[in-house]
Amino acid sequence: MQVSETLVQNIVREVLAKMNLQQAPNNAHGVFATMEEAIAAAKAAQKTVRLMSMDQREKVISVIRRRIHEEAETFARMGVEETGMGNVGDKTLKHHLVAEKTPGTEDIRTEALSGDRGLTLVEMGPFGVIGAITPCTNPSETVLCNSIGMIAGGNTVVFNPHPAAIKTSIYAVNLINEASLEAGGPDNVACTVQKPTLDTSKVMMQSKDIQLLVATGGPGVVTTVLSSGKRGIGAGAGNPPALVDETADIPKAAEDIVNGCTFDNNLPCIAEKEIVAVDAIADQLMDEIVRNQGGVYASKEVQDALIKVVMDEKGRLNRKCVGRSAKALLEMVGVKAPAGTRVIVFEGPKEHPLISTELMMPILGMVRCKDFDEALETAVWLEHGNRHSAHIHSKNVDRITRYARAMDTAILVKNGPSYAALGFGGESICTFTIASRTGEGLTSAKTFTKARRCVMSDSLCIR
Ligand code: NAD
């Protein structure tokens, strides 16, 4: 048998990735036994960072970008192995996206006002030490993306990651510090604790040394952070509907929706979670998904079996099902999935538990509506007032405008897959912290800065 060079390269890459996984970051940079120590170290590092020029900060960020590209696949494997969620191919792409499209210092702009009474500059400066809480669904993606934006803003950061993703999160914190040291910056620009708990997050929320809190996760953590008495940025849950009307290009809508819905097994909070289709094209759309996009139609019995497996009687999700593939989910209910299976589909009322709940699994229920007006009302109901993300496939600009106004979400993708909003096949920056609850939208370096007004009275206006 002839072995091609590409095959050898792939095997070497795979072995290296596995070796990296075994290097448990016991002595990783930025990792402390207690939250108090982590905050103290980040505070000391911030004294250096705030004196660094924009150019020096940018050097640190460019090394971070290079290291993320180099380790994208390692992060992807580590995340999937530790959390059991998502898939290595898409997670690798997500890390490359973070490295490429997360804004750096260029995101921070100065506003200048000049007139007869002088010159005023509004400069965006650091908060200091930021406390960030991160999810298990995009663990290293969020730690890395947050760190780039926060350091660009002149801050340092302390993370309280999801305990189920601590190994992956520590690996990310270590990379950030190694990159800072390589670029001539200080250690501990990002810090965390060996064992994050609700108690360590409480210490973080109450610390006088933390000026800003950033919560990325479900409704519980966002509400807790926003009740802390400190300034908080809340990036909470969503349940994004994809509305399809009779003017849409139906084969393209089917392809875009399934591509967005199945990306990293539906883990991104912006991903299509259900379809709302007008009656005139509902059958055609479902047919396209089943015939050409790897959709497997679930019977009533399979739907009922799935409900029993993916959630308990109170509607709480079974973590073992979150971020699993459609094939794995079908196998859990005793259905052998055909080759090429990508998504489980069915039709049901909007109240169906697999439709109204944010599942983060490639299960895509379709609600049929008599016309656009009913579809719009249904989509608003399904989004549950999260004001997070919504998507639409339509060629009618008046309807798109009405939909955008009615949904009132941080993200709205028209005629494309949801991930276009993160810069993947769309004009956008990348972020994994979408501040839906507090209204900042896609967070970036400027979100992590505060306005400082410098007023020169009666001078320096040379107009
Ligand atoms: P989760 O809410 O279970 O956990 C998120 C983080 O909050 C974890 O670090 C967890 O330990 C912590 N946490 C939970 N309750 C807390 C409390 N009461 N006090 C302090 N910390 C607490 O969410 P998850 O399963 O890790 O992530 C999925 C959820 O996050 C989904 O709802 C998804 O939509 C949302 N999410 C939102 C965004 C966004 O940008 N808006 C991004 C990713 C995930």
Residues near 410 by beta carbon (within 8 Å), at least 6 away in sequence: 387, 388, 389, 434, 435, 436, 439, 441, 442
pLDDT recorded at residue 373:
98
C-alpha 217 – ligand 1 centre gap (Å)? 2
Predicted pLDDT at 1: 47
Looking from the CA of residue 163, the nearest atom of ligand 1 is 11
pLDDT score recorded for residue 26? 63
Which pLDDT score, from 0 to 100, does residue 365 have? 98
301 C-beta neighbours (distance < 10 Å), count: 10
Q: Which atom of ligand 1 is nearest to the CA of 388?
A: 41
This prediction has a pTM of: 0.94
Tens-digit pLDDT profile for residues 49-107? 999 999 999 999 999 999 999 999 999 999 999 999 999 999 999 999 999 999 999 99
Strand partners, 111: 122
**Residue of 269, 321, 356 best suited for mutating to test ligand 1, as the one with most atoms within 8 Å of CB:** 269
pLDDT digits (tens, 9 = 90+) for 6-15: 555 556 555 5
Residue 3 DSSP class: P
Distance 272 CA to ligand 1 centre (A): 18
CA dist., res. 217 & res. 220, Å (int): 8
pLDDT of residue 6: 54
**Distance from Cα 98 to the centre of ligand 1, integer Å:** 19
CA of 223 to the centre of ligand 1 (A): 11
pLDDT at 111: 97
Show the beta-strand stretches assigned E in 57-165: 111-115, 118-126, 129-133, 156-160
Judge whether 46 and 175 are in contact, CB under 8 Å: no
C-alpha pair distances (Å), 300 with each of 180, 297, 347: 55, 10, 10
Regions of the chain short of the pLDDT cut 50:
1, 16, 20-24
Residue 8, pLDDT score: 59
Residue to substitute in 136, 145, 383, 436 for testing ligand 1 pocket (most ligand atoms within 8 angstroms of CB): 136
SS3 165: helix
Q: What is the pLDDT of residue 22?
A: 40
Pick from 216, 230, 422 the residue to mutate for probing ligand 1's pocket: most ligand atoms within 8 Å of its CB: 216
Q: For the chain, what's the residue count? A: 463
Give the model's pLDDT for residue 24.
Answer: 42
What distance in angstroms lies between residue 169's CA and the mean position of ligand 1's atoms?
14
Pocket test residue of 137, 138, 146, 224 for ligand 1, highest count of atoms within 8 A of CB: 137
**Per-residue b/e over 88-115, b at no fewer than 16 CB within 10 Å?**
bebbbbbbbbbbebbbbbebbeeeeeee
Please state the φ and ψ torsions of residue 20, each to the nearest 5 degrees: -60, -40
What is the structure's pLDDT at 252?
A: 98
CB 431 within 8 A of CB 146: no
Domain architecture of the chain: domains with CATH: 5-236+442-453 (3.40.605.10), 241-427 (3.40.309.10)
Q: Which ligand 1 atom is at minimum distance from the Cα of 205?
A: 20
Q: What is the pLDDT of residue 14?
A: 56
Ligand 1 surroundings by CB, under 6 angstroms: 133-138, 161-162, 198, 201, 216-218, 220-221, 224, 235-238, 269, 358, 432-434, 436
